[in-house]
Amino acid sequence: MLPFPLGLAFWKAVIRRFWKDQCLTQAQALTYTTLFALIPLLALIFAIVRLFIQAEDIMAKAENLLTQFLNPAALDLVQETVFRLLAKAQQAPLGKASMLIFFLMILGLLMQTEGTLNAIFRVRRGRRFLQKLSVYWMGITLGPVLLILPLMGAFYLSHFAERIAFLSWPLRGLHLITAIFSFAGLYFYLPGRKVKLPAALWGGLVAGLLWVLMAYLYTLYTAKAVSYSKLYGSLAAFPLFLLWLFLSWTVTLFGAEVAAVFEERDWLSNGYQGPKPMLALALVLELGEAYKKGEAPLEIFDLAHRLQLSPSTVEEILEALEKDGLVLRTEEGFFLAREMDQIQILEALGPFWGRLPAQEPDPPNLKRAYLIFKNLEHQLHQPVSGNGSL
């Protein structure tokens, strides 16, 4: 069962990170990219789904429901345009150049989405290009098949809902469940690191509920808004569709921030704060003891729980230690590259301590400070496996 973080500190942290990460600006950029990639992506998804589901009436209903997801106000112009472009993309023979352009559009949208989520989840090292392609392809092929199942259920329920009134509520519930699990799957699968499932589900729940509420308010707004019609005439559907895409991406990124903060909720108020050289030394000691006990390698969240540190801080320090060759990374986690008695304290502090130049400075006070640090460095040449006293 998911814990329910009602604390004010949690939501303050979510909003603070939402503004810090400039999510509104990112949502605008993703909206722009979506305009180019939407039709190629939908055409590819429907082509893959038709490999598994041949019933044309089910696919027609699924396309209609998906169009309403893209535009809940069901503006006729948008709906007609989307269907017409989809039909042309699936039926017309496409040359190699067109296929390449379609592929690059889809790839650009997925890479931009992953990059934005990586920034939100504080992923410092993303996937390699070939890994990206395999992840994207698996998501495009398996994702639509999984998402079409609740849409199929909605299709069958819609036949009975016309005669049995109370079935309209389960029908709406299936739409909500589809939205929640779509967002949760995005947060769990696409970022370049392992996201905890409860965090992804919590972010998906918040984003799904907000998205359904926003769809209802958006439908009311488009029904009442006449200023767009007067200003744009027959083109009024286009800015309304842009608005819907922007709001959808805003909710998506807000849900991602909720999931990211949910992972670090234990450190919102009691996470230990200290200088990074000291924390780097503590991580080296923890990894060394874990190796002796046969518990290595350790994941980032294991180290964060053991030392009561923020996972983002732990990851930042581990990457610096890895760059200096003191820590090795595997799929299972991190472990020391050498035994603790072969690592000097100064090496562990090195990424954040710095290195003194070989030549002494000339100004008197700068020279005094140099000699003090030189003496400290001399004391820090002992191995980290010591008893803690210098």
Out of 106-120, 186-200, 220-234, 281-295, which region has the weakest mean confidence (pLDDT)?
220-234
**Res 72 pLDDT > 60:** yes
pLDDT of residue 2: 46
pLDDT of residue 256: 94
Tell me which residue of 184, 138, 175, 180 sits closest to 157, measured CA to CA. 175
Tell me which residue of 213, 268, 195, 272 sits closest to 12, measured CA to CA. 268
pLDDT of residue 11: 87
Peptide bond into 297 cis (omega under 30): yes
pLDDT of residue 1: 41
pLDDT of residue 173: 67
Mean pLDDT of 289-300: 82
The better pLDDT of the pair 14, 137 is held by 14
Can you tell me the distance from the alpha carbon of 323 to that of 344, in angstroms, rounded to the nearest whole number? 16
**Res 386 pLDDT > 50:** yes
Between vectors from CA 72 to CA 66 and to CA 75, what angle results, nearest 5°?
100
Mean pLDDT of the chain: 76
Mean pLDDT of 12-29: 91
**Res 336 pLDDT > 80:** yes
Out of 172-176, 355-359, 368-372, 380-384, which region has the weakest mean confidence (pLDDT)?
172-176
Can you tell me the distance from the alpha carbon of 164 to that of 166, in angstroms, rounded to the nearest whole number? 6
Angle of helix 168-189 versus helix 237-263 axis, rounded to 10:
60
CB of 158 closer than 8 Å to CB of 61: yes
Model pTM greater than 0.75?
A: no
Tell me which residue of 304, 355, 351, 289 sits closest to 326, measured CA to CA. 351
**Res 62 pLDDT > 80:** no
Spatial CB neighbours of 376, under 8 Å, sequence gap ≥ 6:
none
Mean pLDDT of 255-271: 78
Between vectors from CA 31 to CA 26 and to CA 33, what angle results, nearest 5°?
95
**Res 178 pLDDT > 60:** yes
Phi, psi of 231 (to 5 degrees): -85, -45
**Res 4 pLDDT > 50:** no
User: Where do the domains of the chain lie, and which CATH numbers do they carry?
Assistant: 8-267 (no CATH), 278-379 (1.10.10.10)
The better pLDDT of the pair 256, 195 is held by 256
| pLDDT one-digit tens code per residue, 146-165 | 655 555 555 555 555 555 55
User: What do you get for the CA distance between the two ends of the chain, in Å?
Assistant: 48
| pLDDT one-digit tens code per residue, 371-384 | 888 888 787 878 87
Per DSSP, the three-state class of 193 is: coil
| pLDDT one-digit tens code per residue, 121-136 | 888 777 788 888 888 8
| pLDDT one-digit tens code per residue, 91-102 | 555 555 666 777
